[in-house]
Structure 1
C-alpha cells in the first residue's frame, strides 16, 4: 500500500511539472503569434496612405461615371471632356494619340 502512495505521488508531481512547462510553452507561442501578427499589420500599413489616396480618386471617378450613366438631362459631352482633363487621363490621351 505504501508503494502505491509513492507511485501516485510521483505521478502527481511529474504531471504538475509537465502541465506547468506545457502552459509556459503555450503562453510563449501565443505571445509570439500575436507579435508576428502585429508586425504584419505594421508592415502592410506602411503603404496605406498612398493606396487610400488612389482609392479615393478612383471612387470620385466612379461617382462621376455613375452620374453620367444615370442623369440624361446634363450635357454628356461637357462631362466627358471634364473627365479627360483629369490627371489620370493624360495616359489615356497619349495612348489614343498613338493609335
Structure 2
C-alpha cells in the first residue's frame, strides 16, 4: 500500500468509528423498546388469562355448591320425572296401522 492510499484510508476509518458507535446505540435502543413492548404484551395476556381462570374457578365453586347441597339430589329428581311421565306422552307406538292414522 502506498502512502497516498494510506493517507486516504486513515480519515475514512476515523470518520466511520463514530458512525458505527451511533448506529450501535440506535440498535440497542430499538432492542430495548422491543423488549419493553413484548413484556407489556405478555403482562396483558397474563392478566387476561388470570381473569379467565378466576371466572372459571368461581363457576366451579358454584357448581360444587349446587351439587353438594343437601337439598339438591339430581338422581331423585330425574327418577321423579320418569315416574310422572305417561306412556302416551312417550311417542307414537310402533305397532300402529295405516288405517288407524286416517
TM range (shorter): 0.5 to 0.7
- Structure 2: gaps (5+ residues): 1-5, 91-102
How far off is 1:55 after superposition?
5.0
1:20 and 2:18 correspond: no
RMSD: 3.4
Q: Which has the higher helix share?
A: 1
Q: Distance in 2 between matches of 1:23 and 1:50?
A: 41
Q: Distance in 1 between matches of 2:33 and 2:19?
A: 21
Partner of 2:45: 40
TM-score normalised per structure 2: 0.52
Task: Give the length in aligned residue pairs.
Answer: 71
Structure with the larger RCO, 1 or 2 (CA within 8 Å, 6+ apart): 1
- Structure 1: gaps (5+ residues): 62-81
Deviations, residues 5-55 of structure 1 (Å, cap 9, x unaligned): 111112211111111100100110011000000011111211322312445
Partner of 2:34: 29
Greater Cα radius of gyration, structure 1 or 2: 2
Structure 1: which 4+ aligned runs deviate by more than 6 Å?
Answer: none
